[in-house]
Amino acid sequence: MSDFAEPVVPELAHDLARELCSEADLAFNAELFKGYEGRRLKAAVALALLWLITLGLHLVPWGRSLVLCVTALMSVHALRVLSARPLAAPQPLPSTQNDLAQADLAQADLAQADLLPAAQVTTQDWPYVSLLVAAKNEEQVIGKLVESLLHIDYPSHLYDLWIIDDYSTDRTPEILRDLSKQYPRLNVINRGPEATGGKSGALNLVWPQTKGDLLAVFDADAHVPSDLLRYVVPMFDEQANGGKTGAVQVRKAIANASTNFWTRGQKAEMALDTYMQERRIAVGGIGELRGNGQFVRRSVIAQCGGWNEETITDDLDLTIQLHLHQWDIGLLFAPPVEEEGVTTAVALWHQRNRWAEGGFQRYLDYWRQLVKNRMGWQKSIDMAGFWIIQYMMPAVVVPDFAIALIRHQLPIFGPITLLGIAMSLWGMFMTLRRAETTSLWSAAVQTFRGTVYMLHWVLVIATMAMRISVRPKKLKWVKTIHGAAD
């Protein structure tokens, strides 16, 4: 498909999903879809309950004792997570490019036997991988991304590349048209102004047309290592994790981290996320997808009925769906996928508001299945603990501080807040040391700066929780200017 392809109708994704799903999966998905109704009412009820609980704990004499007990229980799980050893990654596939052999050996510290001549590499059992990129007004970076993805160290007959141009108004369509003439393996799909569903809609338009056993999703500003597939693919092997791995998230790094305070903060934030995810997975907790650099089994996407077009964060929504369908999500530490961080406070505010709303919304959508413990006790306990720290604490910060000031007391949730800060400091520091082998002093400075930066999440989630309770969804899209990391 060397030129611009005619898009299939969106219903094809759902038709294919229905064909590949069992009756039980179809029934379960139908139950999930019911959760998308009445989101504003559910948000208002949830926030009202959280504020009433906060008031009640301040008023009853045993409120502080109860919070201390909850903090103690959460601390036990936190210690399990922080002391866990990350799961060892399986051996990567051998290189099929002789000229990359020495670079691979230096980077991965592999045995010489792993670097076989291309003619001796057996690829018969390697899965077919389809690479998917949804792009909108990405003229600065799309050409570089296409070139890199079409020259990765993986057999060319075992992967293809699909770019969905989501009604770009800059030179993106022209660039893709020229590239598609140059590279027959590049498939380009155009979406018109009437298209709906956002990124999920774009992905649903394409994945039924692909041949991939694995579907890889990248953002247009991704910096993808040439050997990435050789490291990711073995994580889906039946012998790895008993074949229960339904998706793998590649560690994300910030390509333009040295630009300013905001990008340095995002670098520390990514480090913290990696540390927590690795160890949560190691203790049987929740692994999460992060959009850019995510790999998913084709059969799993079909089982979930495709990507959810009723969400603004497709990755976070799919995370919950995978765990509810009894799949695990793995994390690959190295090599990472780099992306460009936003460089202004305004862009960060809008981006984080979208992430916060999507992250909170998934609990409102799937609360019925979550309370039924469909994921199992280990994952349910892990999710509950991190939900309290990530979402509940910021959501109740206003009433907690207001009541504390009126009653001349300390905030009731202070112990849980301190636990969250301690976990953040430790995780950020340890991953910065590991990822860059920096000095203790440098890691400490970056950790302090990252902690100050992370305070913006309190304001983001507190205001988001109130906004979605009283107003319909109205998030402003702010275009991220790409190309700064080149």
R_g of the chain, CA atoms, integer Å: 23
Position 251 pLDDT exceeds 80: yes
- Identity of the residue numbered 36: Y
Which pLDDT score, from 0 to 100, does residue 105 have? Answer: 42
Least confident window among 13-27, 34-48, 63-77, 278-292: 13-27
* DSSP assignment letter at 209: G
Predicted confidence at residue 122, as pLDDT, reads 79
Q: What average pLDDT score do residues 461-476 get?
A: 82
Residue 169 pLDDT more than 50? yes
Model confidence at 475: pLDDT above 50? no
Indicate whether 139 pLDDT > 70. Answer: yes
What is the C-alpha to C-alpha distance for residues 296 and 317, in angstroms, rounded to an integer? 13
Phi-psi group of 376: left, alpha or beta (phi > 0 → left; psi -120 to 50 → alpha; rest → beta) = left
Average pLDDT of the segment spanning 394-403: 97
Q: Which residue has the higher pLDDT, 437 or 297?
A: 297
Percent of the chain with pLDDT over 90: 75
pLDDT of 25 over the 70 cut: no
Indicate the range of 22-36, 63-77, 287-301, 351-365 predicted with least confidence.
22-36
User: pLDDT value at position 194?
Assistant: 84
Calculate mean pLDDT across residues 182-190: 93
Asked if the model's pLDDT at residue 353 lies above 60, the reply is: yes
* Residue 239 pLDDT: 75
Residue 111: predicted pLDDT: 38
* Mean pLDDT along residues 59-65: 97
Of residues 24 and 133, the one with the higher pLDDT is 133
Question: What pLDDT does residue 432 have?
Answer: 85
Greater confidence (444 vs 247) lies with 247
User: Residue 117 pLDDT more than 90?
Assistant: no
Q: What is the structure's pLDDT at 197?
A: 86
Q: Where are the domains of the chain?
A: 91-122
What's the mean pLDDT when you consider all of the chain?
88
pLDDT of residue 466: 96
Does residue 368 surpass a pLDDT of 60?
A: yes
- Top pLDDT among 172 and 38 is at 172
In this prediction, residues 34-39 reach a mean pLDDT of 74
Which residue would you say has higher pLDDT here, 198 or 101?
Answer: 198
Query: Residue 443 in contact with residue 451, Cβ under 8 Å?
Result: no
Check whether the bond before 335 is cis (ω within 30° of 0). yes
Does residue 126 carry a pLDDT above 60?
yes
CA 109 to chain centre: 28
Q: What per-residue confidence (pLDDT) applies to 24?
A: 64
φ/ψ of residue 334, rounded to 5: -140, 140
Q: Is 80 exceeded by the pLDDT of residue 12?
A: no
pLDDT confidence of residue 101: 44
Quick: pLDDT tens for 188-206. Answer: 999 988 888 889 999 999 9
* Averaged pLDDT for residues 99-122: 47
H-helix or E-strand spanning residue 37: none
The DSSP 8-state label assigned to residue 390 in this structure reads I
Q: How many other CB atoms sit within 10 Å of the CB of residue 329?
A: 24
Q: Are strands 245-254 and 294-297 parallel, antiparallel or unpaired?
A: antiparallel
